[in-house]
Amino acid sequence: MSPLLEIRDLRIRFRVAGPIRARLKGIDDPFLDAVLGVSFALKPGSTFGLVGESGSGKSTLARAIVGLVPVHSGAILFEGEEAKGGDSDFATRRRHIAMMFQDPVGSLSPRLTVRALITEPFLIHGKDGRDLDAEARRLLDMVGLPANFAGRYPHELSGGQARRIGVARALALAPKLIIADEPTAGLDVSVQGEILNLLVRLQRELGLAYLIITHNLAVIRHVSDELAIMYMGRFVEQGATRDIFENPAHPYTHGLLAAQPLPDPDRRRANVELQGEVPSLARRPKGCEFHTRCPRAIARCRVEIPLPSRLDAGRLVRCHAPLVAPIASTD
């Protein structure tokens, strides 16, 4: 099956200092790379999980996919076509790709009713003579809320209801792909399950594809087909979710899994595997970016950036000393 979305060797840079300030302060590289060498493909109707700590580049990557952030190099193809940057290109892409933000209701106007919130995409992209009341009822029904919610205001919603409104809004233009940024962050476990079950049901019914961004490994294990682990803008490991969980190859993946607390007092962790925190993008370490925190780092890691090597079943890992033996190095 040809991919719905394909990302090829993507690089996204941000300017951190203007040209004059850079000269004055002696900054020789006034840019930082938020996304670096990222490639992946997303099949129609499937779920791709993107995991990483804050600042790893997950949200920047998502925003670039819908054209909210310019691409420095590489390509983003949707249904085989590359949006070259013309506004009309992005308009079509945005119609097929919906973004669901972390706090879908809090980020929107508190003075709008639920009806206005979920039908707003029609006002932006053209309503083609639609009856917005009927649309609001239809969308609320799809996310399992009664029609009378149309008249409510954001502050009258519970956390779970607010997320459902976010899903309804994302569904408005009948997208093929929904990008969900931390769809369950801050929710209680029982409500979290309800939202994820809703997403899974909609995927089955509508053939939707999802790109789910999260730092919650316990959740992504259950809901994604494929997974990428991101660190300082790079995919350090990517492949089938099941393979990665059963047998993490990158020491960072291993460390993330080990950092997840288990709800069992008999299995307390004796020590902490990953110390410290992610370095600033402005001070990107030489060689493998992870070597400053890596328990397996060898001399080579400090000087040479690892290329992706191929493991079984299409899995890729960027590591000089992976926990699973590679078959070959790509390119």
Partner 1 sequence: MSAGAVLDIRGLGVDFLTPRGRVHALRDVSLQVPRGSVVGVVGESGSGKSTLILAALRLLPANALILGGEVVLDGEDVLRMSPAALRDLRGRKATMVFQDPSTSLNPVLTIGRQMIDIQYRDRVPTARKRDRAATMLRKVGIPDPATRLDNYPHEFSGGMRQRIAIAMALLCNPDLLIADEPTTALDVTMEAQIIHLLRQLKSEFHGSILFVSHNLGLIAELCDRVVILYAGAVAEEGSVHDLFHRPRHPYTQALLECDPARLAKVSRELPTIPGDVPDLLAAPVGCAFAPRCPKVFERCRREAPRLVADGDGHGAACHLVPAIASSRVGPRPSTGSGRGPPVEPVET
Which positions touch partner 1 (CB under 8 A)? 53-54, 158-159, 186, 188-194, 196-197, 200, 215, 217-219, 221-223, 242, 255-256, 258-266, 268-269, 271-275, 277-278
Please measure the distance between the N-terminal and C-terminal CA atoms of the chain and give it in whole angstroms: 24
Of 33 and 243, CB closest to partner 1: 243
Of 7 and 100, CB closest to partner 1: 100
Of 135 and 289, CB closest to partner 1: 289
Q: Are 159 and 187 in contact (CB under 8 A)?
A: yes
Of 88 and 271, CB closest to partner 1: 271
Of 206 and 274, CB closest to partner 1: 274
Considering the complex, what minimum distance in angstroms separates the CB of residue 297 from partner 1?
16
Q: Are 237 and 315 in contact (CB under 8 A)?
A: yes
Instruction: Calculate the alpha carbon distances from 179 to 15, 132, 175, 276, 323 in Å.
Output: 26, 24, 10, 30, 31
Where in the chain does DSSP place strands (E)? 5-15, 31-42, 47-51, 73-78, 81-82, 97-100, 177-181, 209-214, 226-231, 234-240, 308-310, 316-318, 328-329
CA–CA gap between residue 285 and residue 197 (Å, rounded): 40
Considering the complex, what minimum distance in angstroms separates the CB of residue 177 from partner 1?
18
Of 44 and 326, CB closest to partner 1: 44
186: which residues sit within 8 A by CB, 6+ positions away?
Answer: 103, 159
Considering the complex, what minimum distance in angstroms separates the CB of residue 212 from partner 1?
13
Considering the complex, what minimum distance in angstroms separates the CB of residue 227 from partner 1?
12
256: which residues sit within 8 A by CB, 6+ positions away?
Answer: 51, 217, 229, 274
Considering the complex, what minimum distance in angstroms separates the CB of residue 149 from partner 1?
14
Token pair, residue 319, equals: 């590591």
Of 238, 241, 237, give the one whose Cα is nearest residue 223.
241
217: alpha, beta or left? (left if phi > 0; alpha if psi -120 to 50): alpha
Of 221 and 284, CB closest to partner 1: 221
Of 26 and 265, CB closest to partner 1: 265
Token pair, residue 182, equals: 């931390």
Considering the complex, what minimum distance in angstroms separates the CB of residue 253 from partner 1?
12
Considering the complex, what minimum distance in angstroms separates the CB of residue 50 from partner 1?
14
Considering the complex, what minimum distance in angstroms separates the CB of residue 251 from partner 1?
12
Torsion of CA 17, 19, 25, 31, to 10 degrees: 40
